[in-house]
Amino acid sequence: MNSLMIPKWKSYITQFETVTLQVTRNGTVLLVETEQAEALMNMKGSYHFIVQIIAEDTHTTVDLYDVPIIPSHVDLFSDGSILLVQYTSVRNHNIVERNAWRYSQKGELLDAFLLGHGVNHMQIDETDVVWGGYSDEGVFDELGYGKEGLVAYNQKGEKIFGVDYSGMAEIYALNVAHSKEIYFYYYMDHHVIGLSNNQEILNIAPQQKEPTYTFDSFILCNNQIFASVDLYTCMRFEIEQNQLIPKEEFELVDQQSKKLEGLVRMRGKHLFVFTEDAIYKREFV
């Protein structure tokens, strides 16, 4: 198996339990941590989360208290405020609880709104548009927030538009590199779609109608796609005549050629690996 070297970027050992993590559009790392791992299992009450904001030259820690959701996703608006989004929207009788909560980096609650059930992915572009990619639970949910599969919202959580493709039952992977570079990979057709100004600029079909792989994150680089296809496997694909051709599996290694074992995240042209004691990063050009 071929290998791809990922240089060490930062040493980091968390003192807490990691709840979720994200890479922002400019390559900043966000880690949401908690001291209340046991309380999260009960899914009752409110919680204290610690958000680590790790950039090239800075590391900021933000404490958020009395947060009423368990975030599945996190990202930053252009003013530095933090958006936490929970996968599910909880129903209590006739009330649907808000599952998107926005905080300042001083820990102040700024806003809260509803993005609906089944939010598989959430990423924010440089114009502060919030992109929500939905699971099949969200696409077919009776409230209809995720019925198009991919939905753009403004900073207040108001819907701008939805992106609907025939046969799109779930967004498997999303890469919001820029407001004019929105890429996603969807089930059931397994196409990779690129959007710019809500217009399709890319539509890549799988070589096989029923491929044996799925993506959970990916990078588009020239005529290639690098993707994590499960927790342990990465693959390189080539794009030929608008078809996605699988070329090889590869493993991620450090500068000493030691295999990296950890969570893989991709955004824009950045590939990150999160191990127990460090963060590794490579940028594709």
- Tens of pLDDT along 125-150? 999 999 999 999 999 999 999 999 99
User: In this predicted model, what pLDDT tens digit does every residue of 25-63 receive, in sequence order?
Assistant: 999 999 999 998 877 877 778 999 999 999 999 999 999
Q: Return the pLDDT at 202.
A: 96
- Tokens 């077919």 correspond to what residue? 140
The domain at 2-283 falls in which architecture?
6 Propeller (2.120)
Name the pLDDT band for 208 (thresholds 50, 70, 90): confident
With a cut of 80, say whether residue 271 has pLDDT above it.
Answer: yes
Q: Return the pLDDT at 34.
A: 95
Can you tell me the mean pLDDT for 103-128? 98
Q: What is the CA radius of gyration of the chain?
A: 19
With a cut of 90, say whether residue 258 has pLDDT above it.
Answer: yes
Q: Return the pLDDT at 187.
A: 95
With a cut of 90, say whether residue 272 has pLDDT above it.
Answer: yes
Q: Of 224, 253, 28, 49, nearest to 123 (Cα)?
A: 28
- CB atoms under 10 Å from CB of 16, counted, come to 16
Name the pLDDT band for 228 (thresholds 50, 70, 90): very high
Domain boundaries, the chain: 2-283
- Tokens 């890429």 correspond to what residue? 183
- pTM for the whole structure: 0.96
Distance CA 55, CA 77 (A): 15
Contact yes or no for 34/48 (Cβ under 8 A):
yes
SS3 41: helix
User: Could you tell me how many residues make up the chain?
Assistant: 285
For 137, counting Cβ atoms within 10 Å of its Cβ (0-12 exposed, 13-18 middle, 19+ buried), the class is middle
Q: Return the pLDDT at 95.
A: 87
- For residue 50, what are the contacts with CB-CB under 8 A and spacing of at least 6? 16, 32, 33, 34, 35, 61, 62, 63, 64
Which parts of 8-84 fold into alpha helices (H)?
37-42
